[in-house]
Amino acid sequence: MSQEKSLKNKPVATQCRGWAWLRGSLVSVLMVFGVAVLTTACSLGNSVQRLSPEAALGEKAFNDLSLSASGRQSCASCHSAVVGHAAPNALAAQLGGADLSLQGVRSSGSLRYLATNKAFHFDAEGTPKGGFFWDGRADSLAIQAAGPLLRDIEMANPDKASVVRKIANATWVADFKSVYGVDVLNDVDSAFDKLTQALQRYQLEDKVFQSFSSKYDAVLRKKATLSAPEARGLALFNDAAKGNCASCHTSEKSANGDHPLFTDFTYDNLGVPRNAEIAANSKPTYFDLGLCGRVDLKARGDLCGAFKVPSLRNVALRPVFFHNGKFKTLKDALVFYVQRDTHPEKWYPANPDGSIKKFDDVPLKYRVNVNTKEVPYDRQPGDAPALNDAEIEDVIAFLKTLNDGWTAR
């Protein structure tokens, strides 16, 4: 069964592609102004998407500012529908804490197209795959949802009990009890788990999180064609001697007809430059180690500096790129990809002797882990980049076809 068909078999009466995207966008925009917009169905003509009671509850919780210690932050605050449920602004990392004065250490990744992601594991070849967050430490969307609720630099609740007290005072508490039982709030651990399950259910059921509604999806259905620049960009994207993007960001249908997610859910160490906009980086001894920063993987020095390969769906909507939000435009991110090794002086600081401190956001002993073998990273200073400026523009034209909510003009 194709992924598109399997998603249609979830408890959704019919699919509401265009309006689902617009509804999510309006929710995110209005929540910026503290306006609660809660819907459980969308309509477009006679088409209606209805969420299960649990998913509808999760939608309300996802947009509820009152679940944070500050009363001014919700899941949607850091994962806006307007930009594909990724970071809503150009901050390197979002602000959180009890008064929204504490900065995180990583950018907010997109929550879309995670329905088929699996728990973190090593495959038969020993390659790390799956998991949620940039370091894969959560094994499900429910576990991922729990993290920000309790983290001091995010929604900053001191414990599960404080979250449950907020549920008790939420406008949707009657719905919570209707779904999970009138006594659900009496057991703190159970009530907290039910909340995260509802958030997971919402992300699995609401079509906006996996709508497959981009122009590229229409092309795969043979209902649209790429423009000349878009077609050239796709060819460069797939070319193993040029962009080589598809080696990690799969672009073709699977053997059983699934539309591509533009990620293989693996991890890579790209040597992204250190970002001075992240306050933690002001301490010279601080490094975000990615996979080996996890307690369970701290002995795996070979994984230090590796971060999740994100989906490129909706990538052209994002205001920041990479785990540390180093780049603010898609063009800059792509230029870095192809010129990281040919022009390292553009991206990294100089040492006192004038040499370039390449891969400056990876501790010296782990710089051997940085990917320097695959195209386009197999270059040396003075070599021609794998893509020239015109080719980069073509790749960008293609990447824009991955934005959800496309309609033929």
Per residue in 144-169, pLDDT tens?
A: 999 999 999 999 999 999 999 999 99
Sign of CA dihedral 45, 49, 50, 56: negative
pLDDT at 261: 98
Looking at residue 379, its amino acid is R
Element (H, E) at 215: helix 215-220
Q: How far is CA 102 from CA 209, 238, 281, 312, in A?
A: 28, 41, 14, 29
Q: In sequence order, what are the beta bridge partners of 103?
A: 95
- Residues 180-187 have a mean pLDDT of 98
Weakest-pLDDT range from 11-15, 120-124, 282-286, 394-398: 11-15
- Residues 286-315 have a mean pLDDT of 98
| pLDDT tens digits for range 14-53 | 334 333 444 444 444 443 333 333 344 443 334 567 899 9
Please determine, for residue 279, whether its predicted confidence score (pLDDT) is greater than 70: yes
Cβ-in-10-Å burial (0-12, 13-18, 19+) of 66 comes to middle
Dihedral pair phi/psi, residue 96, rounded to 5°: -145, -155
H-only helix segments in 112-209: 141-150, 160-168, 173-180, 188-205
- Residues 374-402 have a mean pLDDT of 98
Cβ-in-10-Å burial (0-12, 13-18, 19+) of 231 comes to middle
pLDDT bin (cut points 50, 70, 90) of residue 283 is very high
- Residues 312-318 have a mean pLDDT of 98
Cα(first)–Cα(last) distance of the chain, in Å?
31
Q: Return the SS3 of 379.
A: coil
- Closest C-alpha to 285, from 378, 361, 393: 361
Please determine, for residue 387, whether its predicted confidence score (pLDDT) is greater than 90: yes
- Residues 247-262 have a mean pLDDT of 97
CATH architecture observed for domain 3-131+140-210: Orthogonal Bundle (1.10)
Please determine, for residue 78, whether its predicted confidence score (pLDDT) is greater than 90: yes
Please determine, for residue 406, whether its predicted confidence score (pLDDT) is greater than 80: yes
Q: Return the SS3 of 330.
A: helix
- Residues spanned by CATH 1.10.760.10 within the chain? 3-131+140-210, 215-402
CATH architecture observed for domain 215-402: Orthogonal Bundle (1.10)
pLDDT bin (cut points 50, 70, 90) of residue 409 is confident
- Closest C-alpha to 330, from 235, 405, 233: 233
Residue with tokens 């990447």: 399
> Could you give the percent of the chain with pLDDT greater than 90?
87
CA-CA distance, 2 to 305, in Å (whole number)? 34
Written as one string, the DSSP assignment of 270-322 is: --PPP-TTSGGGGSTT----BGGGSGGGTT-GGGBTBEE----TTGGG-SSBT
What are the contacts of 176-183 at 24+ separation with CB within 8 A? 176/57, 178/53, 179/53, 179/54, 179/57
Query: Quick one: how far is CA 99 from the chain centroid?
Result: 25
Please determine, for residue 318, whether its predicted confidence score (pLDDT) is greater than 60: yes
Residue positions counted in the chain: 409
- Residues 128-135 have a mean pLDDT of 98
Tokens describing residue 127: 């390659």
pLDDT bin (cut points 50, 70, 90) of residue 5 is very low
H-only helix segments in 100-159: 141-150
- Closest C-alpha to 272, from 307, 239, 226: 307
Q: Return the SS3 of 49.
A: strand
pLDDT at 244: 98
pLDDT at 135: 98
Q: How high does pLDDT run on average in the chain?
A: 91
| 102-103/121-122 β-pairing | unpaired
pLDDT at 83: 97
